[in-house]
Structure 1
Amino acid sequence: MPDQPTAAPDLVPPHALPPSRVVELQRTDARHGLEDAEAARRLQEHGPNTLPEPPRHSWLQRFGAQFANALIGFLLASAALAAVLGHWVDATVILGVVLINALVGVAQEGKAEAAMSALRDLLTPHARVLRSGAPQVADVAALVPGDVVLIEAGDRVPADLRLLQAHALRIDEALLTGESVVAEKSTATVAADAPLGDRAGMAYSGTLVAAGTGRGVVVATGVHTEIGRISAMLGAIEPLTTPLLRQINRFGRQLAIIALVASVLLFAFAVLVRGLHWLDALMTVVALAVGFIPEGLPAVITITLAIGVQRMAARHAIVRQLPAVETLGATSVICSDKTGTLTRNEMTCQRLVTACGKAVASGTGYAPLGRVELPGSSPPGPDLLQLARAGLLCNDAALTESGGHWQVHGDPMEGALLALALKAGLNPQAEHDRHPRLDTIPFDAAHRFMATLHALPAPQEGALLVVKGAPEQVLAMCANALLDDGRATGLLDEPAWHERIAHIAADGQRVLGFAFKLLPERPERIEAAHLKGLTLAGLIGFIDPPRPEAIAAVADARSAGIAVKMITGDHGATARAIAAQLGLARDPVVATGADVDATSDEALPALAGRAQVFARTSPEHKLRVVRALQSQGAVVAMTGDGVNDAPSLKQADVGVAMGHKGTEAAKEAAQVVLSDDNFASIVAAVHEGRVVYDNIRKVLAWTLPTNGGEVVAVVAALVLGLTLPLTPAQILWINMITATTLGLVLAFEPPEAGVMRRPPRPADAPLLSPFMLWRIVLVSVLFALAIHAVMLWGERRGLGLEATRTLVVNAFCALEIGYLFSVRYLHATSITWQGTRGTPAVLYAVLAVLVLQLAFTYTPWMQTLFATRPLGLADLLVAPALGALAMLLLEGEKALLRRLGWFDELRLAGPEGPGARAP
């Protein structure tokens, strides 16, 4: 590894060193820059200022990798088994599902590989540098440690810089810190362990210069920058398998082993004990194995997930990876970024304080909707108007409206001041015309204020000086304060004003102070003497307000047993205030990034469970918190919009990125993108995810017992030496027509009531709950008894073996239909008007089965193919009677179990019936 000039001997980071020392360590010249030859040498030594290309896999490699899991192996085995039996329709359908899944997986992996590309795109192609004593434009890729870079408003910072000069420099670092306010930059030295958002003397690669100019020396390029570290973290994170896929893989392996062992034992019993010919025994056992293995289940699950994707899209959640649909339903913790997700990402002037009292500005965001009023709804007096006018005049931002959406051009806090002036009844253009600007002192972190000089409206002589800035700095420049009648007091009660400042800040609001001075003469420029003896107009508190719908969504999440945690780069006081307004907790517990650093990996899960807010966090902090929660068995959904969120989005069980304000890096690392950047859409997506999981469980609850009924009926006949009720071909017929009709319609089921009043299921919860296991046994035995009862009926009626088996097939399909109506509601009774009439999908499926069964029973070519015989009406009516009886028996069993309280999931239904509209 070549020696990098960025490393200090004592390993002190550059933000903790004075600029002159950093220049010395970088072996460069602050005014001259590097010589061209030295820059070329360092480029050879350190490599280009780019992020590394991620490892690329060929299309064939990605395609082949899609088959390396138990679920696909399960499907391929089922297809091979169906093909061996000549069941070509099933085999073709299964192989089609495998192929579609593989192609979708290849496409999604291609999108995932674009995450690194999105990070690389944040680097601008060119930068202005000093080389050999002259400014020149260089490729960003050619920047090296020691280069002196010039930046100005509109530039994207090309590398990590230690600032040598900063003039009114403000940089938007939201993609790294999550802060909604631009960072004020200076050349100040800060503590070595200062959070990234507090490093005033640094400018980081990929961030955007919002205002001012600066000069800095490059201290890190490429993978050594903050964005480079995030890129490396992204590459090191292994994608997680979703809970559903883990359960299906485990379930598939277990089912395949059970089927194989049972088939061998049954074959041996049939040949050795019952004396069946080995070929007849083999055909029967193989048919039973196909009947036992629900080969259509993965296809139905895929369709169920796809329907969930469509429903989520209607609720502003765009799903990029199909399994994420179900994972959302298992979410037990939502870790949310604050800015733009829980809040509007629009600064709002909320509190105004003058010498005479407090006022409140209603409305949110930059839209000038609302008003400024005192307690008792009194209109603003001269003091409040003067305070609003000061914020309007000492301002470089602009507000524009397009399609009902107001947008700020410039500093967000200055945009909020313009909206405040409009709410107070001031006309910005008229005020600027009456007070034309004569001179400006731009805001600078060194003096922490901005001042503007304005001419007074004719015929007045003199000028108006307006100052805004850090409240302590403005207060130190004032001699008196403004009263409500527009006059100034003789004295300034500084302790009282400091108390007011502290009170506003304690509520999580950012505070600016405003002052003015009437000058008897009109100077050409602002002099130092003019900035003394000012009149304090007052204070204004700013906040990025929470979204109203986010407050309701947090309440919904908590009622569903989902913990909501805020993980933000913002200050602790601000985050805590927003958390309290959102209702994350009555008294939110705040942990800072420093607290996370001081906590070991073993102790972090306890802190992660206890705290509702994590403030001043870095990408590493967010990643550690998500992993700590997952180590406790939590299924974590992580939301974010910045580059700093990308690693934790990828680590989370479900990463949720913002569609409007999110960076491309965040979107590519996430599985779900919110088209409206709204936390409420996450909760709506969780609701849809729970519905999807419910429907998958209904598919299982219907498929396994009905397949089990076939197996138990045939096995019982073999063990007891009875006539087989079904031939192998008839078993395959039942599986084919019911799996593609009745099994499929459960994917379209609407939500049951009380979906969001249940606690989230544990991540390690088995796919088959105790109630479902009970149902598999009960329904399998019930169906087997019904089948043998039909065999006895046929024998006593003298129908003959072929006609009796025909009746058995019809009866079995009717039993499956009756059970379908029962299983549609796992948490409530199905005996209601809505429950018995079904959905259009259910009715179409039942109609299709009836038509197919009529063809099976009465068409000559089907009679030849499946050895069936026509039935009389009296015999045929046995089938629907058995189906109706089965439904009534199972609904009675469900009601009895609920009364006895034997299964928890039967007690989870809300007070509404199945016809109630879900939230």
Structure 2
Amino acid sequence: MNAPHAQEISTVFSELGSRPGGLSTAEAAATREQVGLNSLPQAVEETWGQRLLRQFRDPMIYVLLAAAVVTALLGEVVDTIVIAAVVIINALVGFVQEGKAANALAAIRDMLSPSSEVLRDGTWVTVDSAELVPGDVVRLRPGDKVPADLRLTETASLRLEESALTGESVPTDKQTGSVAEEADLGDRTSMAFSGTTVAAGTGVGVITATGGATQIGHITTMLGQVEAAETPLTRSMGRFSSLLAVGAVLLAVLMIGVSVLIYDTSWGEVLMSAIGFAVAAIPEGLPAVMAITLALGVQKMAARNAITRRLTSVETLGSVTTICTDKTGTLTRNEMTVRAVHTRNHTYEVSGTGYAPEGRLLLDATVVTLADHPDLARMAQVAAYANDAGVEKRDGRWVLTGEPTDGGLRTFALKAGVSEPARRLSEVPFDSEFKYMATLDDTEQGPVIHLKGAPDRLLERCDRQSSPDGGTEPLDRAYWESMIEDFGARGLRVLAAAWRRGAGLSAVDVADIDAGGFVFLGLYGIIDPPRDEVLDAVRTVQEAGVRVRMITGDHASTASAIAREVGLAGHRAITGTELETATDSELQTIVRDHDVFARTSPEHKLRLVRALQANGEVVAMTGDGVNDAPSLKQADVGVAMGIKGTEATKDAADIVLADDNFATIAAAMKMGRTIYDNLRKAIVFMLPTNGAQGLVIFVAMLVGMTLPITPLQVLWVNLITAVTLSLALSFEPAEAGIMRRRPRDPAAALLDSEAILRILYVSLLIGGATIAVFQYLQMNGAPLDVARTIAVNTLVVGQIFYLFSARFSRVSSLRQELFTTNPVSWLCVGIMLALQLAFAYVPFMQAAFGTTSVGLLSWGAPLLAGVVVFAAVEVDKLLRRRV
């Protein structure tokens, strides 16, 4: 139907074929046949089998699987079992660490009301909300969840908590009058939307949309259309794996051709040698090392209150170039706070944030008391008396009972020292129609009416104002309107206070208030303040080269004020209306030039994230409402609030902040960068092992010599290196200055020219030393098993010495930190040596791998090779530092 929020109630009923008396049971059943149940689409979950098979989608794994098949056909059972075991272990590590797939749609379904009061056959009955249809008339009471989208037909002080859908930081007042068709979602005051909650008052409305046609249903549709973005790490690893796999296969084919055509080697021997080369060239342990490194990062992040749902998201945080953050509950506390109080005498500042009554009242940075400032005392009394909210300490936290704005006023009164309320004789509850609350209180001066509410409504009912001398004077409306504008420009939500003596009254009603005669006392400036730690956190991520953008459903003035406070200086806030009219290409320009976006809908947030990604940005998106879920899923890293976030948001996100703290994102970014550094160190460390082994077999086959190491020995070296030495690099701490460097280019290759050069010369050194040792021993009559055992020892010891150098990418390894910062590395070296000694000296290992015991002096050559490798890398680092 046409926009129901912009139509008169009678027109809405007419288009729906309904009436104020509701539908009949037969009419509802007929409509349900056409539109279906009032439920949201079911998500298709990934099965555990699909998740397990996905672990094998890697070009390197394909080559290993092919190698296992060939060895099986050749009858090499041991080789087949070992290769298959490597593949299966890698898959299981990824499978276990990844956990279950996210299902955001199920969490959104949980937001819907289970039952509702509906007018059927002229009688109010309670039915299952799934049975509701467009045209049904529904009644809303405090605490109810709205079961479908409603056009409101009756309201009585109705206020809805819509922050999960619109991002509005305070409950929205609802009324029955139509609003402009182009009104933003948060400004459609004539509508009640499915999944929101009744904060106060009552109402009646006619259902205009159910199930997938509702605003929340629209969000589930967007969620289903959003495909999870591929992370920079998976893109880089995909390219790297493909290149490595193709290179290994091509070189293996070349070796086969040379061996068969030139040396007339048998096909069985050639194929086993080619498989040995492929196994040597491919770092089988890399997927496991990557998964374990990421898992360790996940554990460390969990200790810092960042719960990670997808392993690769840990590293992606380190690549982020832009953080798009919600305002309410993320940058701010989602706790309304009186920041300033203005009377005709002074403007007082109020320190402290949130509902904890801890703060001071300041005038020109000097603490003041109510005894010396009766004008401030009057404002505190109105805040305390015309108020139904309460704050109390539970489990170490100050908790609000009642409306957030009233809670802020109650906290201000407690800070001022007004804790005991006067005896209330009567009250006029707040109503969205007249936008004020009044109480008749029995005070020491006799009955007094305390009035608080919207400034314009109170100014209409006042003819005098408090004067600086403590008396009263004629109301200067222009002055107060100017002050209201000043407070609004600061992003403050403005309420006013007034009072009047109630002599002779025992009760008060709306007519008494509308009669006027009040004295205007002043203004409260209220805001949802930034978290205390946010300013430092924003500065930290900005120093790391990451741009912070605020995307909120709140008003532009409020958004701009918070942006200034947290350090997001710059251009004005762009509103949802402006985003609505912008094309995709125009939006890409807008997001380059602006950091603050207000009055945004879920569609706007999704478009903004896509525009940033189209500009080449790696985007982290934070949020807590269901309106944030599609954009969180679209972002490279979706970050949900764990305390105040909806379940739908958490399930759509990659990371959940257990403390709802923006500062935790900065800590997680540092962890992400550290993890990427360590992964890169592991790759630069592992590849020379494979390069050296591949070089040994490649050279041996090209020149027709006996293989210095067998395919099974190759697998042994790869496995023990991966599970010991490579894993040690996962525990390296962050390098100095890691949060003062720019984010890495997501399009950049995993390995730069420096890394590639190091891999090449270390491979040549270790591989060359292995071939040289083997040839020397063969030429001097050493048995084949002795020569091969010492050759493998040379490979292993060379890797141990290279590990010490690889722990520090650019600085010298000859430093104290080599022995103190990563004790796990020394434990891994010890385990590696123990395994290698078993490989050489334990009988059953000798039988399995074709090795033999060697004398103590035979370790001299491996040690010399290791020292040469260490010295070469250290000289390389020294030259690069000087250049």
What is the TM-score when the length of structure 1 is the normalising length? 0.91
Which of 324, 327, 333 aligns to 2:322? It is 333
- Quote the Cα distance in structure 2 between the aligned partners of 1:542 and 1:200: 22
Instruction: For 1:199-238, list aligned pairs within 5 A.
Output: 199-238=188-227
CA shift at 1:549, angstroms? 1.4
Post-superposition Cα deviations, 1:396-436, rounded to whole Å, max 9, x if no partner, equal 11212112211111110100111101100112xx323xxx2
Is the alpha carbon distance of 1:587 and 1:103 closer, same or farther for their aligned partners in structure 2, counting shifts above 3 Å?
closer
Change in Cα spacing, 1:76 to 1:574, as seen in structure 2 (3 Å) is: farther
- Distance in 1, Cα, partners of 2:108 & 2:47: 22
Identity of aligned residues (%): 46
Structure-2 residue corresponding to 1:251: 240
Please name the residue that 1:905 is paired with.
Answer: none
Deviation at 1:100, TM superposition (A): 4.6
1:311 offset after TM fit, Å? 0.7
Distance change >3 Å, CA 859–CA 431, structure 1 → 2: closer
Are 2:12 and 1:15 equivalent residues in the alignment? no
C-alpha contact 1:589 1:610 (8 A) present in aligned 2 = no
Amino acid at match of 1:246: R
Distance 1:79 1:568 in 2: 55
Give distance in 1, aligned partners of 2:123 and 2:849: 91
Question: Taking structure 1 as reference, are residues 271 and 35 closer, same or farther at Cα in structure 2, changes over 3 Å only?
Answer: closer
1:563 counterpart residue number: 547
Cα distance between partner residues in 2 of 1:141 and 1:528: 43
CA distance in 2, matches of 1:333, 1:875: 56
Q: Secondary structure at the match of 2:613?
A: helix
In structure 2, the CA distance between the partners of 1:315 and 1:292, relative to structure 1 (3 Å rule), is same
Tell me which residue corresponds to 1:304: 293
- Among candidates 385, 393, 414, match of residue 393 of structure 1: 385
Q: Note closer, same or farther for the CA distance 1:290–1:467 as it changes in structure 2 (3 Å cut).
A: same
Equivalent residue letter for 2:182: D
2:432 is the counterpart of 1:439: no
Distance 2:207 2:784 in 1: 89
Q: 1:124 to 1:265 in 2, by over 3 A?
A: same
Cα distance, 1:288 vs structure 2: 1.5
Relative to structure 1, the CA distance from residue 776 to residue 273 in structure 2 (aligned partners, 3 Å threshold; closer, same or farther) is: same
Query: Equivalent residue for 2:868?
Result: 885
Residues 23 and 864 of structure 1: CA distance in aligned 2, closer, same or farther (over 3 Å)? closer
- What's the CA shift for 1:510? 0.4
Residue 730 of structure 2 corresponds to which residue in structure 1? 747
Contact 1:75-1:298 within 8 A present in 2 as well? no
User: How far off is 1:351 after superposition?
Assistant: 0.3
**C-alpha distance in 1 between matches for 2:700 and 2:27:** 90
Where do 1:301-700 residues align within 5 Å?
301-375=290-364, 376-380=366-370, 381-427=373-419, 430-432=420-422, 436-457=423-444, 461=446, 463-483=447-467, 486-488=470-472, 490-526=473-509, 528-531=511-514, 532-584=516-568, 586-700=569-683
The one-letter code matched in structure 2 to 1:547 is R
Deviation of the 1:798 alpha carbon: 6.2
How has the CA–CA distance of structure 1 residues 505 and 899 changed in structure 2, closer, same or farther, with 3 Å as cutoff? same
Q: What letter corresponds to residue 456 of structure 1 in structure 2?
A: T
Q: CA RMSD in A?
A: 2.3
SS of equivalent residue, structure 2 residue 585: coil
Does residue 269 of structure 1 match 2:258? yes
In structure 1, C-alpha distance between the alignment counterparts of 2:67 and 2:413, rounded to whole Å: 71
What's the CA shift for 1:848? Answer: 2.1
1:74/1:252 contact within 8 Å kept: no
> 1:382·1:484 contact (CA, 8 Å) conserved in 2?
no
Name stretches of at least 5 consecutive residues in structure 2 with no aligned partner: none
* Alpha-carbon displacement from aligned partner over 1:64-96 (angstroms, at most 9, x marks no partner): 555556576466446656765623345324313
**Structure 2: how far apart are the matches of 1:740 and 1:79?**
21
Question: Would the alpha carbon gap of residues 75 and 443 (structure 1) be closer, same or farther in structure 2, given more than 3 Å must change?
Answer: farther
Measure, in 2, the Cα distance between the counterparts of 1:289 and 1:751.
34
CA distance in 1, matches of 2:814, 2:317: 31
Deviation at 1:588, TM superposition (A): 4.2
Letter in 2 for 1:17: Q
Cα distance in 2 between the residues matched to 1:758 and 1:77: 43
Summarize deviations over 1:453-494 as a string: whole Å, max 9, x none.
22334xx54x21111111122122211222356422x22222
Q: State how many pairs are aligned.
A: 875
Using the TM superposition, give the Cα deviation of residue 859 of structure 1 relative to its aligned residue in structure 2, in angstroms.
4.4
Deviations 1:641-694 (A, max 9, x none): 111011111111111111111111111111111111111111211111111111
Give secondary structure in 2 for the equivalent of 1:741. Answer: helix
Deviates more, 1:554-563 or 1:70-79: 70-79
Report the residue type matching 1:657 in the other structure.
Answer: A
> 1:94 maps to what in 2?
87
8 Å CA contact 2:52–2:91 kept in 1: the answer is: no
Q: For 2:70 and 2:731, how far apart are their aligned partners in 1?
A: 29
Alignment CA distance shift 1:359-1:82 (3 Å): farther
Contact 2:622 2:632 in 1 (8 A): yes
Secondary structure of the residue that 1:23 maps to in structure 2? helix
Q: Secondary structure at the match of 1:852?
A: helix
Secondary structure of the structure 1 residue equivalent to 2:367: coil
Q: Structure 1 CA distance, aligned partners of 2:522 and 2:864?
A: 83
User: Which is further off, 205-214 or 763-772?
Assistant: 763-772
Q: Secondary structure at the match of 1:877?
A: helix
Q: Find the residue that maps to 1:323 and give its secondary structure.
A: helix
Q: CA deviation at 1:530?
A: 4.4
Give the Cα separation in 1 of the matches to 2:678 and 2:405: 48
The 4+ residue runs of structure 1 with deviation greater than 6 A are 795-798
Task: Report if the CA contact (8 A) 1:82-1:90 is conserved.
Answer: no
Q: Which amino acid aligns with 2:367?
A: S
Give CA-to-partner distance per residue, 1:482-523, whole Å, 9 cap, x none.
Answer: 2356422x2222212111111111011100011111123224
Worse-superposed segment, 506-515 or 273-282: 273-282
1:160–1:219 contact (8 Å) kept in structure 2: yes
Contact residue 576 and residue 588 of structure 1 kept, 8 A: no
The superposition leaves residues 293-321 of structure 1 with CA deviations (integer Å, 9 ceiling, x where unpaired) of 11111111111111111011011011112
Cα distance, 1:695 vs structure 2? 1.4
Q: Distance in 2 between matches of 1:722 and 1:832?
A: 42
Partner Cα distance (2:743, 2:184) in 1: 35
The amino acid of 2:8's aligned partner reads P
Greater Cα shift, 610-619 or 743-752: 743-752
Quote the Cα distance in structure 1 between the aligned partners of 2:31 and 2:545.
56
Residue 548 of structure 1 aligns to a residue whose secondary structure is: coil
- One-letter identity of the residue aligned with 1:98: A
Q: For residue 107 of structure 2, what is the amino acid of its counterpart?
A: A
Distance verdict in 2 for CA 1:497–1:49, change over 3 Å: same
